[in-house]
């Protein structure tokens, strides 16, 4: 049965409330009994005791009145007036005694427990009735001066009075005992009430603490498990599974957490698997924002780079298929590391070439050109590591291989988006800057260079040393493009590198103004700084050609790329 947290808390509250209601009901019943006993004492016992006392006092007073009447022997007016007064007082006392008897009788009728005193009361009433019969006779005997009759009746009256006092005393004792019994009962009920209330309150507190601690412990353990699982996921452990400890909302949340982790694990597995076929950031974007997989794209300022393994055809003729695959895989691995180090996106592997790009949403609008150039320098640095890996894995066959790179980089406005067919798609870039980057990669072969970049890349990149190589016109294009070679980082560029760039650009300036001798001198000076400088050799060859066959009058110094 699934108990929600609300039901658990309600159950605890209900149990405590039931115990409190039981304690209240028992208290009310016991208090009612105590109140009844006290009311019985106050309403019945005490009035009966008071009436019995009044009866005893009045009977005694009547007896004293008779005694005083007996002592009045002289028949003077004063004595006669006094005797009349005492006689009236005697009669009044008799009326009061009758009233007290009526009160006692009514009290006995209202209380069943007091009915047991009826016999005693009847005995007192009978004695008093006899007393009431004798008292007038005594009074008449006194009035008639009949001492003999008075003396004969007085002992009987005294006997009745003594017996009445004794019966009243017995009634007093019975009443006192009854009051004591009721008082003891009330005291016992009070103690029982206190004890039961204490027990019920303690039970309610213990049950509340017990159930509360059990529910709280379950909630705390479940939440703590979720927190531990969340921390584990945060640390990258997607194999985490939190065992549900309850069937309430926290248990439901735990199940959802496990499902979420499973989805994350699946997504991570997809990213890891497909990240080997395309850049993981593209996979992440596709998983997080599936709408980018929809056909179409947008125009953005980006930088594209092409890396080609020099002489792959000749290498493939030397190596076995397995060694060739091992070599090309190792090459792609090093190039991918160089590109990813500077936040580039590997777009595709094309035979022995790699295409990558930089720009939004993977880099910002400012640094994509600089990152691409730095990645190109890193690729050249990793070329040495790649060569060592090839020697270690392939052996002597790789010692004489001519392994080198050619890199072309171009920046500009490109179309970025999903391209492909209904069954196969690729998130890529297309446009003229992309084509230019591919042609610059091939142009390295003509100039003997390793990294060529477009003028737009040169203007956008920062912290690097460049030299202008040429003005190139792509086949089928009208406007020429200035092409630069990346020489290195400006912070650690040696002086000879800047001197090389300065002398080469001097020669280039004279070359474009047809000052062949001065240009030749400048290019030879560049070769003095770097004997294998490819661009200087290319321009010296062109100068020799133009000296023999001067260019047309409208020649603008632009070189047209014939190959695509």
- Residue 470: φ, ψ to 5°: -170, 170
Predicted local confidence at residue 270, as pLDDT: 55
More confident residue, 406 or 225: 406
Choice between 108 and 385, residue whose per-residue pLDDT is larger: 385
pLDDT grade, residue 38 (50/70/90)? Answer: low
pLDDT single digits (tens) 523-551: 999 998 888 899 999 999 999 999 999 98
Mean pLDDT of 373-381: 94
Residue-level pLDDT at 370 = 94
Q: What is the pLDDT of residue 485?
A: 94
- Please give the mean pLDDT across all residues of the chain: 78
Higher-confidence position of 250 and 457: 457
With CA atoms as reference, report the closest residue to 305 among 439, 127, 463, 201: 439
Instruction: Please determine, for residue 453, whether its predicted confidence score (pLDDT) is greater than 90.
Output: yes
Q: Do 93 and 158 contact (CB within 8 A), yes or no?
A: no
Is the model's pLDDT at 509 over the cut of 80? Answer: yes
The pLDDT value recorded for residue 133 is: 72
Residue 470 banded pLDDT, cuts 50, 70, 90? very high
Q: How confident is the model at residue 520 (pLDDT cuts 50, 70, 90)?
A: very high
Please, which residues have CB within 8 angstroms of residue 441's CB and are 6 or more apart in sequence? 306, 307, 308, 353, 406, 407, 408, 452
Distance between CA atoms of 355 and 335, rounded to whole angstroms? Answer: 10
What are the C-alpha distances in Å from 293 to residues 51, 297, 427? 109, 10, 8
% the chain with pLDDT above 90: 24
CA distance 136 to 540: 174
pLDDT (tens digit, 9 = 90+) per residue, 142-192?
A: 666 677 777 777 777 778 777 777 777 776 677 677 767 767 777 777 777
Instruction: Report how far residue 57's alpha carbon sits from residue 60's, in angstroms, rounded to the nearest whole number.
Output: 5
- Tell me the range of 155-164, 211-220, 498-507 where mean pLDDT is highest: 498-507
Over residues 397-416, mean pLDDT: 85
CA distance 279 to 271: 9
Q: How confident is the model at residue 372 (pLDDT cuts 50, 70, 90)?
A: very high
- Among 288-302, 374-388, 397-411, name the one with the lowest average pLDDT: 288-302
Q: Which conformational region is residue 221 in: left (phi greater than 0), alpha (psi within -120 to 50 degrees), or beta?
A: alpha
Provide mean pLDDT across the span 450-460: 95
What pLDDT, on the 0 to 100 scale, is given for residue 89? 79
Considering the entire predicted model, what is its pTM? 0.56
Asked whether the predicted pLDDT for residue 273 surpasses 60, the reply is no
pLDDT digits (tens, 9 = 90+) for 6-26: 666 767 777 777 877 877 777
Which has more pLDDT, 352 or 253? 352
Residue 249 φ then ψ, to 5°: -60, -35
**Please, where are the H alpha helices in 342-367?**
none
């Amino acid at each position: 049965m699934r108990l929600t947290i609300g039901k658990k808390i309600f159950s605890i509250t209900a149990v405590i409330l039931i115990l409190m209601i039981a304690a209240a009901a028992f208290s009310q019943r016991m208090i009612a009994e105590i109140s009844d006993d006290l009311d019985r004492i106050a309403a019945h016992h005490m009035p009966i005791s008071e009436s019995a006392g009044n009866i005893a006092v009045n009977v005694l007073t009547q007896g004293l009145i008779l005694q005083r009447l007996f002592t009045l022997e002289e028949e003077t007016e004063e004595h006669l007036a006094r005797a009349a007064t005492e006689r009236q007082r005697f009669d009044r006392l008799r009326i009061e005694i009758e009233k007290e008897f009526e009160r006692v009788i009514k009290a006995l009728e209202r209380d069943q427990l007091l009915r047991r005193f009826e016999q005693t009361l009847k005995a007192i009433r009978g004695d008093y009735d006899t007393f009431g019969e004798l008292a007038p006779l005594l009074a008449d005997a006194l009035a008639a001066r009949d001492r003999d009759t008075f003396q004969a009746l007085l002992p009987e009256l005294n006997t009745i009075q003594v017996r009445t006092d004794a019966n009243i005393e017995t009634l007093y004792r019975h009443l006192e005992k009854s009051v004591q019994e009721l008082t003891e009962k009330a005291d016992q009920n009070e103690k029982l009430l206190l004890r039961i209330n204490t027990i019920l309150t303690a039970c309610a507190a213990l049950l509340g603490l017990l159930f509360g601690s059990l529910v709280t412990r379950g909630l705390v353990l479940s939440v703590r498990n979720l927190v531990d699982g969340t921390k584990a996921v945060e640390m990258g452990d997607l194999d985490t599974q939190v065992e549900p400890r309850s069937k309430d909302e926290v248990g439901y949340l735990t199940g959802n957490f496990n499902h979420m982790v499973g989805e994350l694990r699946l997504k991570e597995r997809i990213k890891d698997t497909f990240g080997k076929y395309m850049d993981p950031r593209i996979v992440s974007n596709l998983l997080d924002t599936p709408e980018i997989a929809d056909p179409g794209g947008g125009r953005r300022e980006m930088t594209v780079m092409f890396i080609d393994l020099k002489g792959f055809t000749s290498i493939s003729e030397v190596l076995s298929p397995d060694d060739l695959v091992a070599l090309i895989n190792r090459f792609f691995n090093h190039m991918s590391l160089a590109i990813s180090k500077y936040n580039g996106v590997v777009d595709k592997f094309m035979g022995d070439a790699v295409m990558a790009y930089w720009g939004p949403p993977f880099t910002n609008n400012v640094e994509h050109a600089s990152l691409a150039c730095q990645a190109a320098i890193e690729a050249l640095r990793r070329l040495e590591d790649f060569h060592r890996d090839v020697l270690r894995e392939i052996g002597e066959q790789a010692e004489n291989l001519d392994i080198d790179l050619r890199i072309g980089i171009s920046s500009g406005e490109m179309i970025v988006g999903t391209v492909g067919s209904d069954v196969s798609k690729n998130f890529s870039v297309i446009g003229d800057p992309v084509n230019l980057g591919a042609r610059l990669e091939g142009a390295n072969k003509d100039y003997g260079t390793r990294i060529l970049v477009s003028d737009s890349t040169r203007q956008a990149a920062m912290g690097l040393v460049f030299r202008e190589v040429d003005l190139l016109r792509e086949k089928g294009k009208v406007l020429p493009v200035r092409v630069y070679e990346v020489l290195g980082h400006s912070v650690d560029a040696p002086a000879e590198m800047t001197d090389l760039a300065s002398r080469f650009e001097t020669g280039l300036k004279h070359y474009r103004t047809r000052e062949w001798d001065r240009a030749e001198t400048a290019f030879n000076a560049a070769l003095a700084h770097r004997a294998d400088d490819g661009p200087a050799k290319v321009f010296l060859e062109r100068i020799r050609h133009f000296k023999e066959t001067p260019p047309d009058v409208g020649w603008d110094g632009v070189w047209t790329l014939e190959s695509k």
